[in-house]
Chain A
Amino acid sequence: MPALDGMDVFYVSLDKSLAADVPGHDFYTIRDVSRRDRFGFIIVAFQLLKILFKERPKLVITTGSAPALIALLLSKYLFGSKTIWIDSIANAEKLSSSGKKAGKIADLWLTQWPQLSGPGGPQHWGAVL
């Protein structure tokens, strides 16, 4: 994450092997969940709460999906974190359903696709790729 060089950063991922990419940083894994899985949402919410209580982030940044949306909600409303949502590059024609909901929550709401940006929608600052 070159954009965050020199800052105190921790990572949350669905895949524990990604810890190897960010040596020297706190790293947590949570389980994946899709919107069809209500029980999974509760588990992920508890996993995230535990992490947030420990880390108390000032700012949360994510490229999306359902678990990330839960993280955004919890960190913003329970811990007062600033939040940045960058919608996944995989969504080229319309925003993900998580991405639409994130627009109501995130302090900064971005899409990686210029054609999806505009009034009432996310801003386009460029692509992560």
Chain B
Amino acid sequence: MFPFDRLIRMMDEWTAAHGRQDVFAQIGNGTYEPKHMKWTRKLDQLDFAKTVEDSAMIVAHAGMGSVIMADQYGKPIVLLPRIKDQGEHTTDHQLATAAWLRGKPGIHVADTDADLAPTIEVASTTARDTSGKWAASADPEFLKKIRQYVIDSLG
């Protein structure tokens, strides 16, 4: 996991400013260690799922793993895309991911550092519409074509 110290530091400050005791962070290989949040380096997929399930809201990079997990448990998610220039990823593809995800049910995008706190505020006061889970499963037509290709190529 690439570090994302910018987000972790901002969330640590947010936690202190709001006097919250219930914020938990996964910080990866970051060098900044939170002072006000509980934290760990890396959760495995099961613990990650459990943590998301027990949460009221997720704040994350614009990574599909987090987005799909939040969708699965119907939790609102706030995304801050990683930026290549800040050494947060090898490309700027998260900007495109965030642009695509913007406005989908329960997804809130913070474009800048200054947007993060207000976006969390909006996310916490907007009920997530869980009537239609959009990331729950693959396109059946796609699966059918893959299956046919596999069968044909195994001959």
Contacts and interface: CB of A to CB of B under 8 A. Distances in A.
Given A20-B46, A127-B139, A34 B146 contact: no
A89 interface: yes
Contacts of B139: 126-129
Interface stretch (A43-51, A71-79, A92-100): A92-100
A interface, size bucket: 20 to 34
Given A15-B44, A89-B64, A90-B63, A128 B147 contact: no
B93 A92 contact: yes
A93 B145 contact: no
B149 interface: yes
Interface string A83-109: 010001111111011000000000110
Given A90-B93, A96-B93, A125 B146 contact: yes
Main secondary structure of the interface of A (DSSP, over half): loop
A16 interface: yes
Given A17-B44, A17-B47, A128-B138, A3 B97 contact: no
A98 B68 CA distance: 22
A44 B99 CA distance: 33
A59 B74 CA distance: 35
A101 to B, nearest CB: 14
A97 B91 CA distance: 9
A93 B96 CA distance: 6
A35 B90 contact: yes
A84 B149 contact: yes
A42 interface: no
Contacts of A35: 90
Contacts of B97: 90, 92
Contact of B145 (A34, A82, A125, A129): A125
B154 interface: yes
Contact of B64 (A34, A90, A93): A90
B95 to A, nearest CB: 8
B114 interface: no
Given A84-B146, A97-B90, A126 B141 contact: yes
Interface of B: 2, 44-47, 63-64, 68, 90-91, 93-94, 96-97, 99-100, 134-135, 138-139, 141-147, 149-150, 153-154
Given A3-B143, A125-B142, 14 more contacts: A3-B138, A3-B146, A17-B47, A18-B45, A34-B2, A34-B90, A82-B154, A90-B93, A91-B93, A92-B96, A92-B97, A97-B90, A125-B146, A126-B138
